[in-house]
Structure 1
Amino acid sequence: MASAYSALPFKRRVLIVCIATLAGCLGPIAGNIYVPILPELEEVFNVSSTTIDGTVSVFMALFAFCPLIWASWADYGGRKMLYLLPLSFFILANILLATVPANIVALYILRIVQAFGASSVMSVGAGIVSDIFEPKNRAKAISIFMWGPQLGPVLGPLLSLIATTNWRWIFGFLALFGFVVYLIILFFLPETLRFLVGDGSCLGQGYFVKPKLQEKVVEGYPRPPKPSLKNYWNLLKYKPVLLCSINSGLLFATFYGVMITFSRVLSEQYNFTPIETSLSYLCPGSALIIGSSIGGWLSDKLMRREDYIPEHRFSIQIAGLLISMAGVIGYAWTVEKHAPVYAVFIFAFLSGFGMTWVFVATTTYLTECSPAQPSANVAIGNLMRNVAAAICTAIVDVLIRKMGFGWCMTGLGLLDVVGIIIVVVLLKWGPKWRKSREQVKSQV
């Protein structure tokens, strides 16, 4: 069934969201499937742990900044091409990683290319969802789309088990996975940018898509600004985008502190085997799925209010931030006091549940507060999250040694207090800032 917002049948829109979700797995899986075999790679490449860890940092840095390149072009020139072009680099990099002789310089270069190719999926995918789902149903669709980027860090360690016989199997798997996703996008994902295809009525009703280099422009839909540094600067000056992105970064840093210590805690303190540790990531993984789904449903339920404005989505975030904070602080002291392992799992679950609850509302709001540039807005949020994760990765071990596990993780958990303050500020002044920006645009 089509809607007034999109002429595409509901089943086809669901398929499009599923494709975006599948593509959204690629980058996070590529980043995390690699981590469990780092000790083996130290020996293979005959380098120190610091040198091999640097290949992870390089990937995360590129994965944080490159979406800024892709997102603006996706808002300006089309979504589909901004999937296919980067994916070509991703597939090529993984083929070479699986076949070229072991060389640390080549590893660094190809990890850079790999991150460059995988970096478009999050922001472009959010733009696709905003193209085909009206705001009243958008959070539910985004909650499903976010399963991909959120499950990637969980599935990565599990999929690393394929490297039990040879580490190159990891990159061979990623190349094959990327190629399958490429074919699915090529033949089943239509262009959705509303400037090019409008409400989608020009796309036909079938599921199969004949590949095209370029879509004709549909009249009546304003074109977003051409990509430029000035455009990103203007978005950063828009207080709701900046504050949402800072909030996301702080929250992700707290959750990442749990994730990067989780495996070490289970193996060293509770004597879990590598397989048991990998399977344990299903706990935070299920939290992300459940929290995302419930958060999306509640966020869209707020749309039923007659006086609805986009900022109303923030009203559920305080609960999510409190749940996340309780999870991180509870995790801190159950580990510190050597509590039974089930308590560690419960609090790790709560930290992920609260985080993803907040992220769904934030991502949906970023597609609404500046409708012409949803991918660019989400890319800024993605940048803040990945930078925060990189900083947390770099300092958490040092802080644990100096402060102790309990107090270090408690400090990370208390960052969510800053997030609660940001939410209160956005609830109070967000509508005024958004209306002021809309008035300025209408006068241009």
Structure 2
Amino acid sequence: MSLFRAALVLGLLSAVGPFAIDMFLPAMPAIAADLAVSETATQATITAFFISFGLAQLIYGPWSDQVGRKLPLYVGLTIFSLASIGCAMADSIVALTALRFVQGIGASVVMVVPRAVIRDMLTGNAATRLMALVMLVISVSPMLAPLAGSIVLAFAEWRVIFWVLAGGAVLSLALTAALQPETLPVEKRVPINLASLWRGAGILLRDRTFLGMTFIGGFGMASFFVFIASAPFVYSGQYGLTPTGFSIAFAVNAVGFFGASQLAARLGEQLGPEKVIRRAVMGFATFTTLLLVLTLSGFASLYVLIGCLFLGNACLGLVIPTTMVLALDPHGEIAGLASSLGGTMQMLAGGAMIALVGPFFDGTALPMVVAIAICAWIAFGLSRLLVSEQAAVA
């Protein structure tokens, strides 16, 4: 399987989850109005998705280590498709939130399995290069998904978005069946039992590198989750953007991320991946702190907000693929478990940050910016405490 084909297939599969989040975003104000609920209640549908998206990875990872990578994909995508149909038919915010939780259970398979597939195929900088290519495909979704959602809203109600997501899941099932080979041979599969899971989890939770890379990348991702939950109301409320205008503003953030991600492997070869992480996290903290200072000073215009987030997310484009690879590299024999445990911890961090900022959210940019800066500071502190000693001399 060529590197380009692998990146395309794995990227398209991995984009199912981001599309389930990003295509939904322009519709959040309309959903709040249609179901007669508050902004915070509507944000809970995202929190529910992230929580199940994280927890279900604990099942898919070990399961894929036992049965191979393809069967979990089939099951997860089927669950996602059925839950999307349910979301389209939901008549209350309680039902929609519950079905989004189920949708997250299905979507989480495309977070775990593609990363394990990459570890099955490659390690080191070669894996970082493939991970970055996958990120390139995934990162197109924040540009296309909100725009697709706004196009749907221009011609139909918000429920149609979920019918489109259900159709996308069916296409992903066909893609898996036709183009994705099984990468875990039978002789390398690991039976599931509590003893082996406990042993594997113990190895991972005692591994300083695994924990450091997981949470550095996790709080970077959490900052983006906070943005996802808050931006539709901030951009439409404080700045008066239409769904299409929001989609364009939202897409700018993705450009910085996926553009920088393509440099991750090259910079890793030149500087060492640990140095790349430390310097990129420093940049992320610097730009988000600058944004916070400008916001507190009353200078947070729309263009200032977009510009600072663009620069901060460009730094994350170097951090996230590199931390993913370094977290999994030493654990090839339990790649599925490592991917799922790491993904769960990252998703729960993101869900927790959304839940924490929810009570303070007032429709303006300030609570969102404060939460993003907190994520950056935590990631910065962890990069100094938990990254390997090789990076300490950077």
Give me the TM-score of the superposition, normalised by structure 2: 0.86
Alignment of 1:248-259 (within 5 A): 248-259=217-228
* Equivalent position of 1:433 in the other structure: none
Question: For the structure 1 residues 400 and 415, does the alpha-carbon distance in structure 2 shift closer, same or farther, using more than 3 Å as the test?
Answer: farther
Q: Give the distance between the partners of 2:108 and 2:371, measured in 1 at CA.
A: 31
Question: For the structure 1 residues 177 and 424, does the alpha-carbon distance in structure 2 shift closer, same or farther, using more than 3 Å as the test?
Answer: closer
Displacement after TM superposition at 1:331 (Å) = 2.0
Displacement after TM superposition at 1:361 (Å) = 1.1
Amino acid across the alignment from 1:381: G
Kindly indicate whether residue 354 of structure 2 is the aligned counterpart of residue 385 of structure 1: no
Residue 275 of structure 2 is aligned with which of 315, 326, 331? 315
Amino acid across the alignment from 1:251: G
Displacement after TM superposition at 1:418 (Å) = 0.8
* Equivalent position of 1:128 in the other structure: 117
Alignment of 1:22-61 (within 5 A): 22-61=12-51
Question: For the structure 1 residues 339 and 76, does the alpha-carbon distance in structure 2 shift closer, same or farther, using more than 3 Å as the test?
Answer: same
* Equivalent position of 1:19 in the other structure: 9
Amino acid across the alignment from 1:82: P
Kindly indicate whether residue 171 of structure 2 is the aligned counterpart of residue 180 of structure 1: yes
Kindly indicate whether residue 30 of structure 2 is the aligned counterpart of residue 70 of structure 1: no
Kindly indicate whether residue 141 of structure 2 is the aligned counterpart of residue 147 of structure 1: no
SS of 2:31's equivalent in the other structure is helix
Answer yes or no: is the 8 Å Cα contact 1:287–1:352 preserved in 2. Answer: yes
Residue 282 of structure 1 is aligned with which of 236, 245, 251? 251
Displacement after TM superposition at 1:111 (Å) = 2.0
Q: Give the distance between the partners of 2:168 and 2:15, measured in 1 at CA.
A: 10
Answer yes or no: is the 8 Å Cα contact 1:321–1:419 preserved in 2. Answer: no
Answer yes or no: is the 8 Å Cα contact 1:91–1:179 preserved in 2. Answer: yes
Q: Give the distance between the partners of 1:93 and 1:269, measured in 2 at CA.
A: 33
Question: For the structure 1 residues 271 and 50, does the alpha-carbon distance in structure 2 shift closer, same or farther, using more than 3 Å as the test?
Answer: closer
Kindly indicate whether residue 103 of structure 2 is the aligned counterpart of residue 114 of structure 1: yes
Query: Whose RCO is larger (CA < 8 A, sep 6+)?
Result: 2
* Equivalent position of 1:330 in the other structure: 290
* Equivalent position of 2:268 in the other structure: 299
Over the matched positions of the two proteins, sequence identity in percent amounts to 23
Deviations, residues 411-438 of structure 1 (Å, cap 9, x unaligned): 4432233132135445379xxxxxxxxx
Displacement after TM superposition at 1:34 (Å) = 2.3
* Equivalent position of 2:308 in the other structure: 347
Deviations, residues 195-221 of structure 1 (Å, cap 9, x unaligned): x1xxxxxxxxxxxxxxxxxxxx35xxx
Question: For the structure 1 residues 426 and 107, does the alpha-carbon distance in structure 2 shift closer, same or farther, using more than 3 Å as the test?
Answer: farther
Deviations, residues 290-327 of structure 1 (Å, cap 9, x unaligned): 1211113322456xxxxxxxxx4212111110111122
Displacement after TM superposition at 1:30 (Å) = 0.9
What residue ranges of structure 2 are gaps of 5+ in the alignment?
A: none
Q: Give the distance between the partners of 1:172 and 1:382, measured in 2 at CA.
A: 27
Deviations, residues 20-65 of structure 1 (Å, cap 9, x unaligned): 1001111122123223323332344455544443332211110011
Question: For the structure 1 residues 409 and 315, does the alpha-carbon distance in structure 2 shift closer, same or farther, using more than 3 Å as the test?
Answer: closer
* Equivalent position of 1:205 in the other structure: none
Q: Give the distance between the partners of 1:101 and 1:325, measured in 2 at CA.
A: 40
Q: Which has the larger radius of gyration?
A: 1
Amino acid across the alignment from 2:258: I
Displacement after TM superposition at 1:289 (Å) = 0.6
Kindly indicate whether residue 327 of structure 2 is the aligned counterpart of residue 366 of structure 1: yes
Q: Give the distance between the partners of 2:293 and 2:177, measured in 1 at CA.
A: 49
Q: Give the distance between the partners of 2:94 and 2:234, measured in 1 at CA.
A: 32
Question: For the structure 1 residues 178 and 241, does the alpha-carbon distance in structure 2 shift closer, same or farther, using more than 3 Å as the test?
Answer: same
Answer yes or no: is the 8 Å Cα contact 2:215–2:379 preserved in 1. Answer: no
Q: More deviation in 104-113 or 344-353? A: 104-113
Give me the TM-score of the superposition, normalised by structure 1: 0.77
Answer yes or no: is the 8 Å Cα contact 1:58–1:112 preserved in 2. Answer: yes
* Equivalent position of 1:245 in the other structure: 214
SS of 2:203's equivalent in the other structure is helix
* Equivalent position of 2:159 in the other structure: 168
Displacement after TM superposition at 1:407 (Å) = 6.0
Displacement after TM superposition at 1:335 (Å) = 3.2
* Equivalent position of 1:422 in the other structure: 385
Question: For the structure 1 residues 257 and 117, does the alpha-carbon distance in structure 2 shift closer, same or farther, using more than 3 Å as the test?
Answer: closer
Answer yes or no: is the 8 Å Cα contact 2:7–2:134 preserved in 1. Answer: yes
Q: How many residues are matched?
A: 383
Answer yes or no: is the 8 Å Cα contact 2:204–2:210 preserved in 1. Answer: yes
Q: Give the distance between the partners of 2:182 and 2:289, measured in 1 at CA.
A: 44
SS of 2:263's equivalent in the other structure is helix
